[in-house]
A = this chain, B = another copy of it.
Amino acid sequence: MLVVKKFGGTSVANKERIFNVARRCIDEYKKGNDVVVVLSAMGDTTDDLIEMAKDINPNPPKREMDMLMVTGEQVSVSLMVMAMASLGVPAVSLNAFQVQMHTTKVYGNARLKKIDTERIQTELDNKKIVVVTGFQGVNKYDDATTLGRGGSDTTAVALAAALKADICEIYTDVEGVYTADPRVVKNARKLKEISYDEMLNMATLGAQVLHNRSVEMAKKYGVQLVVRSSLNEAEGTVVKEVAKVEKRVISGVAADKTPSRISLIGLQDTPGIAFKIFNVLAKKNISVDFILQSVGRDGTKDISFTVDENNLQSTLDALNEYKETFTAERIEHEENVAKVSAVGSGMMTDPNITVKIFEALFNEGINVKMISTSEIRITVLIDEKDVDKATKAIHDAFELED
């Protein structure tokens, strides 16, 4: 069996944790399995490197930023192999240049295109544990790139797909995927299984267990994922195509406090306006979400959407630059908003679900600013201060603790 295991930065933050991970991987290896390990940079390394860079140049070239960042994972993987060697097990570290992890050319937010498997396969054939740098790749210019947030998860899933691994285990500091954030909802329950689509909605909507790109990729290539704890042997949550039905309409409640809302008010009701707006943002590589268009006064229309709060200023700058092209009377924004979503495969077959959610929010006196739905998800935009209350209210309304 070929197993890909991914450990994040906190799991390799110090000597003890590095040895903890080394031992877990060796246990797998000693069962006779082929083991590929994907690691992030140790603890605060990435933040420290960013700080060093910003001290030199507040607006560093993105290419150089990636050249700097990729050293973090290279330190992790070499130290991990040293730990494995001291435990008597042969292992080898590989960076993105050595594996040849081909990505798109965008620095800071590249996407994996193709992973060569030859080098890894050779090392596995030589009975070595192969320890690979997560989060990074090489673009067509032969320059180092990084994959953006959650990049190491994506590396792990992509490697599992390329190597046709039997399973891809994502180790994290929680025991699996819960019906809601256990820090907020005390009686939140760990799920044994969840489907890719449900997980994808949970991930996109702020349940920070898995990054959405990694779930998308797992779905596309049919990689069976397991989310489990790096701190204990608990079984975790399996993410796969069809999750066992557990007689539930919704699987969980996810919250995301990062969005900011932007509204363009008083747009002319002519074709092409929405295209112009989102084309400008796409060119600046700004992801938008939760797009709503509504009828405004006097034959005009309004367009609202959310962006990550880190992109708020650059989004406003870009929009103001083209304000007149867009025919916008004014551009508004709101920072302290949050998304709460109920996710579940069986959702849309039952018209009572939506009602139940709004009832729960109404009972708590929570004002809903925007609403968005998909086949398996209902999301509301509310004040950030109401997030925990809303999460608990929805969790209780559907008795997810059972």
Contact = CB atoms under 8 A, between A and B. Distances in A.
A145 to B, nearest CB: 13
A82 B56 contact: yes
A56 B79 contact: yes
A273 interface: no
B64 A85 contact: yes
A163 to B, nearest CB: 19
Interface in A44-89: 49, 52-53, 55-61, 63-65, 67-68, 70-71, 74-75, 77-79, 81-83, 85-86
A64 B52 contact: no
A93 B85 CA distance: 32
B55 A67 contact: no
A15 interface: yes
B15 A55 contact: yes
A93 B68 CA distance: 10
B82 A61 contact: yes
Contacts of A79: 52-53, 56, 64, 68
Nearest to A59: B86
Nearest to A58: B86
A205 interface: no
A253 B65 CA distance: 46
Q: Which residue, A59, A63, A78, has most C-beta atoms of chain B within 10 A?
A: A78
A92 B60 CA distance: 12
B61 A98 contact: no
A18 B75 CA distance: 23
Given A58-B86, A67-B93, A71-B75, 4 more contacts: A15-B55, A49-B75, A53-B79, A64-B79
Interface of A: 15, 18-19, 49, 52-53, 55-61, 63-65, 67-68, 70-71, 74-75, 77-79, 81-83, 85-86, 92-93, 95, 97-98, 119, 142-144
11 contacts: A15-B55, A56-B82, A58-B86, A61-B82, A64-B79, A65-B82, A67-B95, A70-B74, A97-B142, A98-B142, A98-B143
Shortest Cβ-Cβ A-B pairs, 8 listed: A71-B71, A68-B78, A57-B86, A67-B78, A57-B82, A97-B97, A60-B82, A64-B78
